[in-house]
């Protein structure tokens, strides 16, 4: 049986510019998208095919699976220039496709928190979208296994960024 997906829009609203999309993620039906902990901000936008896209900014979201009682934190950053990759240890990675673009990804371990005591598994994926003239940086973080994050790679292929 093939699992079905729903589109989830990661977007932010600017006081003057209005709502701007960062990315549209197709996620399995059992996952929901909620507001994240970090503040959202949009500095520049580009208008394409009736939709305003965040050309430079950041958004935070929480992917939740209520039945399985698990969550994945998502940070999306967009910029006109390069975005530095996070410092991860015990990494492995490769290339993939995200929204029709060639992307590189890396899965590894990072420590967060005030005293750097909280250990997270991180999936970092980055690519350039020529249509919207921006770099897109995706960081999925959770306290579980790397396999759970690797399972996000096939749905990311159908994501929309313009």
Residue 146 phi/psi, 5-degree rounding, is -70, -30
Q: What pLDDT does 17 receive? A: 78
pTM of the model: 0.92
Q: Quick one: pLDDT at residue 3?
A: 64
Q: Which residues pair with 47 in a beta bridge?
A: 52
128 C-beta neighbours (distance < 10 Å), count: 13
* SS3 call for 83: coil
Mean pLDDT by 10 residues, the chain (162 residues): 80 86 92 91 92 95 92 96 94 95 96 86 97 97 92 92 92
Burial class for 82, CB neighbours closer than 10 Å (0-12, 13-18, 19+): exposed
Domain 5-156: give its CATH code.
2.60.120
Q: Hey, where are the domains in the chain?
A: 5-156
């Amino acid at each position: 049986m093939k699992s079905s997906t729903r589109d989830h829009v990661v977007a932010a609203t600017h006081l003057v510019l209005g709502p701007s999309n960062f990315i549209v993620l197709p996620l399995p039906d059992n996952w929901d998208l909620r507001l994240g902990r970090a503040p959202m901000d949009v500095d520049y936008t580009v208008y394409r095919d009736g939709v305003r896209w965040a050309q430079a900014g950041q958004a935070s979201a929480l992917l939740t699976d209520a039945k399985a009682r698990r969550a994945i934190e998502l940070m999306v950053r967009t910029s006109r220039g390069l975005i530095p990759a996070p410092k991860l240890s015990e990494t492995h990675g490769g290339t993939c496709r995200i929204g029709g673009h060639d992307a590189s990804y890396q899965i590894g371990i990072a420590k967060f928190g005030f005293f750097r005591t909280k250990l997270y598994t991180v999936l970092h994926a980055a690519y350039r979208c020529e249509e919207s003239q921006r770099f897109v940086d995706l960081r999925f973080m959770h306290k579980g296994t790397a396999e759970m994050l690797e399972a996000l790679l096939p749905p990311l292929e159908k994501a929309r960024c313009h």
